């Protein structure tokens, strides 16, 4: 009954974890969930108020498909100020979260059989979206500290390679690609006439004081073939508002707008007004959230360092630790999936197994959770591994 396209779709790997969590919760067992990929903070009030204003003032209808001009202008200003990226507002599209935008980009750029290079560990949505769009994801496996290099990409090039996907800082590893390496990757992309999709959604959530480098800022040649993807979900704790954006060459953005016009139309008018307030008025809240994330990260670095059977690279960005449990796998728990299931059943702690990121032997722990939960989480891990 279902199409071939859908038969290829791997269901979200966190679904079985979620089912198990719910099962335990219905039995009345409290679960500490460090598996989530969203900030645990409330959306800053100033942003929510702008949404409420939009509703109360009747700003509740369709807008231009690509987003209201004020918002696209504000995004252009922000990209220029924060990332040295110069885009006109017609080179920017706002949509229903960066996830939906990414899918539209793959639909717009992948002909059947076109290959997209994706470094692993990776957020598995990329792989599924590429397949759905008719492309072929080619994984580029990385070793700790999981920093993508041009050399690794080059090894995986073929005549069919069309796109390089970058995600820096990365979900799930938190790794950031440094400027020198981005320059090499840009050279490679230009030399082989490839597109680059640069998912920069965790760009503000970084723990070094150095400025963020977007590959698109490294010269006109690379900018012409790059689509920068970003959004409001992570930086402004706005996951439920469903709003993200892309910036890139006008022809591509205009194609994305035609596509979006036939699929979702604009994103919510209310979310657009809220996002405008996020850009203009919520710098302080972002700094506060980042300070809290940084303190949690420090705490976890200290605690994980004491657990000699585990190994990890300190995340440079995002809010995840990607921890190796290879030394702990045994007959009882032969895979990271089994190990994480055991941790959930015995200690009632949920983390996501590496299999969900194409990298067995690890788990991803999110520190988008309170200190109380993180402390309980560490205690549970200690008990589980003795």
Residues interacting with ligand PLP, by CB under 6 A? 37, 97-99, 123, 167, 171, 199, 201, 231, 233, 239, 244
Q: How far is the CB of 59 from ligand PLP (least distance, A)?
A: 22
CA 265 vs. chain centroid, Å, equals 23
Contact 260, 66 (CB under 8 A): yes
Q: Name which of 149 and 230 has its Cβ closer to ligand PLP.
A: 230
Q: Name which of 135 and 244 has its Cβ closer to ligand PLP.
A: 244
Phi, psi of 206, rounded to the nearest 5 degrees: -130, 155
Residue 139's Cβ-side half-sphere holds a number of Cα atoms within 13 Å equal to 15
Nearest to 17 by CA among 380, 381, 352: 352
Residue number, nearest CB to ligand PLP? 97
Q: Are strands 311-312 and 320-324 parallel, antiparallel or unpaired?
A: antiparallel
CA 258 vs. chain centroid, Å, equals 25
Q: How far is the CB of 172 from ligand PLP (least distance, A)?
A: 8
Q: How far apart are the first and last CA of the chain?
A: 49
CA 91, 92, 94: angle at the middle one, nearest 5? Answer: 155
Q: Are strands 161-167 and 320-324 parallel, antiparallel or unpaired?
A: unpaired
Q: Name which of 98 and 214 has its Cβ closer to ligand PLP.
A: 98
What distance in Å separates the CA atoms of residue 383 and residue 83, rounded to the nearest whole number?
44
Q: How far is the CB of 218 from ligand PLP (least distance, A)?
A: 21
Q: For the purposes of burial, counting CB atoms within 10 Å of the CB of 27, is it exposed (0-12), middle (13-18) or buried (19 or more)?
A: exposed
Q: How far is the CB of 324 from ligand PLP (least distance, A)?
A: 20
Contact 96, 264 (CB under 8 A): yes
Q: Name which of 37 and 67 has its Cβ closer to ligand PLP.
A: 37
Q: Name which of 123 and 195 has its Cβ closer to ligand PLP.
A: 123
Residue count (the chain): 386
Q: Is 195 helix (H, G, I), strand (E, B) or coil?
A: strand
Q: How far is the CB of 50 from ligand PLP (least distance, A)?
A: 18
Q: Name which of 215 and 378 has its Cβ closer to ligand PLP.
A: 215
Q: Name which of 239 and 335 has its Cβ closer to ligand PLP.
A: 239
Q: How far is the CB of 231 from ligand PLP (least distance, A)?
A: 3
Nearest to 252 by CA among 244, 260, 243, 262: 260
Q: How far is the CB of 233 from ligand PLP (least distance, A)?
A: 3
Q: Name which of 99 and 296 has its Cβ closer to ligand PLP.
A: 99
Rg (CA), the chain: 21
Q: Name which of 67 and 97 has its Cβ closer to ligand PLP.
A: 97
Q: How far is the CB of 223 from ligand PLP (least distance, A)?
A: 21
Determine the angle formed by the axes of helices 269-281 and 69-83, rounding to 10 degrees: 30
Q: How far is the CB of 37 from ligand PLP (least distance, A)?
A: 4
Write the DSSP symbol of residue 60. Answer: -
């Amino acid at each position: 009954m279902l199409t071939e396209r859908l038969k290829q779709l791997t269901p979200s790997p966190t679904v079985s974890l979620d089912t198990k969590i719910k099962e335990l919760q219905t039995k009345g067992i409290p679960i500490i969930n460090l598996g989530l990929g969203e900030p645990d903070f409330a959306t800053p009030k100033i942003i929510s108020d702008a949404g409420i204003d939009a509703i109360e003032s009747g700003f509740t209808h369709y807008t231009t498909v690509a987003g209201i001009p004020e918002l696209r202008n504000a995004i252009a200003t922000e990209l220029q100020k924060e990332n040295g990226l110069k885009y006109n507002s017609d080179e920017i599209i706002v949509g229903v979260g960066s996830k939906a935008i990414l899918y539209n980009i793959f639909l717009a750029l992948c002909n059947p059989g076109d290959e997209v290079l994706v470094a692993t560990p990776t957020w598995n949505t990329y792989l599924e979206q590429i397949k759905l769009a008719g492309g072929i994801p080619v994984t580029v496996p990385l070793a700790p500290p999981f920093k993508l290099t041009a050399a690794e990409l080059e090894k995986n090039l073929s005549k069919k390679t069309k796109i390089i996907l970058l995600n820096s800082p990365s979900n799930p590893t938190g790794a950031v690609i440094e400027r020198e390496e981005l320059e090499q990757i840009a050279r490679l992309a230009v030399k082989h006439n490839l597109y680059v999709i640069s998912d920069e959604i965790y760009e503000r959530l970084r723990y070094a004081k150095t400025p963020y480098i977007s590959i698109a800022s490294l010269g006109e040649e690379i900018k012409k073939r790059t689509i920068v993807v970003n959004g409001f979900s992570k930086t402004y704790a706005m996951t439920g508002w469903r709003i993200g954006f892309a910036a890139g060459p006008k022809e591509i953005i205009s194609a994305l707008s035609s596509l979006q016009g036939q699929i979702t139309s604009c994103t919510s008018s209310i979310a657009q007004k809220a996002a405008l307030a996020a850009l203009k008025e919520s710098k302080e809240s972002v700094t506060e959230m980042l300070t809290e994330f940084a303190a949690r990260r420090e705490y976890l670095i200290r605690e994980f360092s004491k657990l000699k059977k585990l190994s990890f690279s300190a995340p440079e960005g995002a809010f995840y630790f990607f921890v190796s449990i290879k030394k702990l796998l045994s007959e009882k728990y032969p895979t990271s999936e089994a190990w994480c299931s055991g941790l959930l059943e015995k200690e009632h702690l949920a983390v996501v197994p590496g299999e969900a990121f194409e990298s067995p032997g690890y788990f991803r722990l999110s520190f988008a959770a309170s200190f109380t939960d993180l402390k309980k989480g560490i205690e549970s891990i200690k008990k589980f591994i003795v």
